[in-house]
Amino acid sequence: MKLDNLQVKSVSVSFGGVQAVRNVSFTVEPGRIVGLIGPNGAGKSSLLNCISGLSRPDAGSVMLGSKELVGLRPDQIAECGLGRVFQHPEVIGELSVLDNLLVACHRNLQFSVLSEMLGLPSVRQAEMKAREEVEKVARLVGLHESLQMNAASLPYGHRKLLELGRVILLGSKLLLLDEPIAGLNEAEIEQLAQLIMTLRSKGNLSVLLVEHNMGLVRQLCDEAVVLDAGQVIAQGTPEQVLNDPKVLLAYLGEVVENA
Amino acid sequence: MMTQASPATRFLTIKNSMLGLLGIFAIVASQFGGGYMVYLINLVCIFTLVSIGLNLLVGFSGQISLGHAGFFAIGAYASGLLGKNLDMPFWLSIPLGSMVATAIGALIALPALRLKNLYLAIATLGFGIVTQKLIFEWRAFTGGGGGLQVPLPKFADYDLSDGRHMFWAILFCLVIGAWMANKVAHGRTGRALAMLRESEVAAGCLGIRISHYKVIAFALSAFYAAIAGGLYAYLVRYINPESFNTNMSIMFLAMIVIGGMGSIPGALMGAAFYVIVPELLRGFKEAPGLVFGLSLVAVMVLMPTGLIGIWRKFEAKKS
């Protein structure tokens, strides 16, 4: 499958009188991992919400290939191949990990509520097929031994893996990862980083990664975009960007000037 | 952890055996018990049907309704009027009447899309009250406060007006209804509803169209309440808007909380508790209401996850 560019063009967002995002533009080229970094309150989450359709920018456009995403509902954007992994994993506690993963097969299971109520054989077949798909993905993310467990008893790190499994099942071509490693231990971070690398190496995937951990940004990203006070202040390879005086200033404030 | 069991052993779980025994008991008691006992058993089955539907809305999708007596009433009146005015047999008038309620349920969901929690509770409360008043005021059509005489439930030439016979029709609806709800609960729809209860934002990003599923949840639960209402109309054969009040809506909601949210056997337990416990308390001449109220408090304090919670605890210990 051919991957598309994600183009964020002159996007601005304001809440009341506060401009959270000002005229931000950047592109995620097909197959690349782009880091979106910046201090707290820089507008990263607001931007991510615009891309995934949770809020509407005041101005600008977000294009996936030739398709305009602004104005679409989140479920329509998901259907375009954009998968979002939330900072806090949203699992259904009383359902099994299997069922939690099956939620993401929603779009692929095209049958009506009525045929489901009647328990038609076609419904059963489609469910069986989705189950096989889920087992494959569970193996990939390392959850195949916990499939029957209640999601509520899943450790935090595994919940993040579950969320990642979901966007893979969704068939997303572009992943939006919002601080994927927050709250994880060293081993789990390594596992997640490896997983992202593996997914990318299989092709068919671009990633926009919001992250505070600069080590991870260096390790994973081909490119980084730095936001501060709603504006792009630097853009380039992680090395370039992390040595940029403007970026150091944004992160460390006056300390740099005094040094 | 769970091992793959053969279909036979998977089916013959303790839970299923107990449900089977309960079913056999209900059948025996309904056929050989006294008239009042038969009435109570029929009532439990009818309310279970309402609870199963309401559970899809409240337990699964996380919405709330304080107006389900309205759907119950629409089902009762629509099927009763179809039977009376068009001479339709009850097995046709009940599903057709319920279609009306389902459509209204879907319409009610539209304003409900923008409302949450308490706001939704108040809006649905309003719906229940308006429905009751409409039936009351629309005398020419519904008979108003004078009530409506519902024709005999007949299947071909066979008269089912005896509770012992009506029981089979009610049981049939309950079994089919529970079976269908089980399919929905454990399938694509149930997962989508649970996901939107957990987080609408996350559900949307997983490709689930939120508004679509809220409408489905309202319509389905309205359908179940209306089928139950229709059966009720043909069971008691005289209906009056007085009985479909807010108290009834609250009772429906209490049933699923007492029984246990999101569980079909829980719906049965909640309905049975609500119908049978007050009967057992008749001995307390002065204060059956007081004792029943206290028993509600006791259940919620001791079993915050409902009566089905005891069962779940037992199962968790076993494995």
Whether residue B213 is predicted with pLDDT greater than 80 in this model: the reply is yes
Distance from CA of B203 to the nearest CA of A (A): 8
Within a domain: B10: no
Number of domains in chain B: 1
Whether residue B14 is predicted with pLDDT greater than 80 in this model: the reply is no
- From the list B190, B167, B184, the residue with the least C-alpha distance to B61 is B190
Phi, psi for B173 (deg, rounded to 5): -65, -40
Residue of A nearest to B3 (CA): A148
Provide the pLDDT confidence category of residue A258 given band limits of 50, 70 and 90: very low
Provide the pLDDT confidence category of residue B313 given band limits of 50, 70 and 90: confident
Distance from CA of A107 to the nearest CA of B (A): 6
Within a domain: B315: no
Provide the pLDDT confidence category of residue B3 given band limits of 50, 70 and 90: very low
Chain A 14-53, CB below 8 Å of chain B: which residues?
52-53
Which domain does B86 fall in, by range? 35-244
Q: Are B204 and A75 an interchain contact pair (Cβ–Cβ within 8 Å)?
A: yes
Phi, psi for B191 (deg, rounded to 5): -65, -40
Residue of A nearest to B183 (CA): A117
**Chains A, B: CB pairs < 8 Å:** 92
- From residue B242, give the alpha-carbon distance in Å to each of A206, B129, B312: 62, 11, 38
Provide the pLDDT confidence category of residue B48 given band limits of 50, 70 and 90: very high
Q: Are B191 and A95 an interchain contact pair (Cβ–Cβ within 8 Å)?
A: yes
- From residue A254, give the alpha-carbon distance in Å to each of A227, A228, A257, B92, B288: 18, 15, 5, 79, 74
Flag whether the ipTM exceeds 0.95: no
Whether residue B181 is predicted with pLDDT greater than 90 in this model: the reply is yes
Q: Give residue A253's pLDDT.
A: 66
Q: Give residue B154's pLDDT.
A: 84
Provide the pLDDT confidence category of residue A256 given band limits of 50, 70 and 90: very low
A80 and chain B: CB distance < 8 Å anywhere?
no
Within a domain: B90: yes
B188 and chain A: CB distance < 8 Å anywhere?
yes
A126-180 residue pLDDT tens: 999 999 999 999 999 989 999 999 999 999 989 999 999 999 999 889 999 998 8
Residues 6 or more apart whose CB falls under 8 angstroms from that of B224 comprise B49, B50, B52, B53, B54, B56, B177, B181
Question: Which is more confidently placed, A251 or A11?
Answer: A11
Q: Give residue A257's pLDDT.
A: 45
Name the residue facing B184 among A94, A95, A116 (closest C-beta).
Answer: A116
Best residue in B205, B216, B264, B308 for a mutation probing chain A (most A CBs within 10 Å): B205
Average pLDDT for B11-17: 73
Q: Are A116 and B189 an interchain contact pair (Cβ–Cβ within 8 Å)?
A: yes
Q: What percentage of chain A exceeds 90 in pLDDT? A: 54
Average pLDDT for B67-93: 95
Per the CB < 8 A criterion, the answer to whether B81 and B141 are in contact is yes
Whether residue A18 is predicted with pLDDT greater than 90 in this model: the reply is no
Provide the pLDDT confidence category of residue A248 given band limits of 50, 70 and 90: confident
Whether residue B288 is predicted with pLDDT greater than 80 in this model: the reply is no
Q: Average model confidence (pLDDT) for chain B?
A: 89
Residues of A in contact with B205 (CB under 8 A): 52, 54, 74-75, 77-78, 83-84, 86
Q: Give residue B159's pLDDT.
A: 85
Question: Which is more confidently placed, A215 or B3?
Answer: A215
Whether residue B139 is predicted with pLDDT greater than 60 in this model: the reply is yes
Three-state secondary structure of chain A: CCCCCEEEEEEEEEECCEEEEEEEEEEECCCCEEEEECCCCCCHHHHHHHHCCCCCCCEEEEEECCEECCCCCHHHHHHCCEEEECCCCCCCCCCEHHHHHHHHHHHHCCCCHHHHHCCCHHHHHHHHHHHHHHHHHHHHHCCCCCCCCEHHHCCHHHHHHHHHHHHHHCCCCEEEEECCCCCCCHHHHHHHHHHHHHHHHCCCCEEEEECCCHHHHHHHCCEEEEEECCEEEEEECHHHHHCCHHHHHHHHCCHHHHC
Average pLDDT for B217-239: 96
| Cβ atoms < 10 Å from Cβ of B12 | 13
B206 and chain A: CB distance < 8 Å anywhere?
yes
Provide the pLDDT confidence category of residue B114 given band limits of 50, 70 and 90: confident
β-pairing, A82-85 with A174-178? parallel
Average pLDDT for B107-123: 88
Average pLDDT for B60-82: 95
Domains in chain A (CATH in brackets) are 6-212 (3.40.50.300)
Per the CB < 8 A criterion, the answer to whether A168 and A137 are in contact is yes
Residue whose entry in the numeric block shows the structure tokens 């039977």? B83
Whether residue B11 is predicted with pLDDT greater than 80 in this model: the reply is no
Q: Give residue B304's pLDDT.
A: 80
A124 and chain B: CB distance < 8 Å anywhere?
no
Within a domain: B23: no
Within a domain: B140: yes
Name the residue facing B204 among A73, A83, A123 (closest C-beta).
Answer: A73
Q: Give residue B12's pLDDT.
A: 65
Within a domain: B12: no
What is the rounded distance in angstroms from the CA atom of residue A100 to the CA atom of residue A94? 10
Within a domain: B4: no
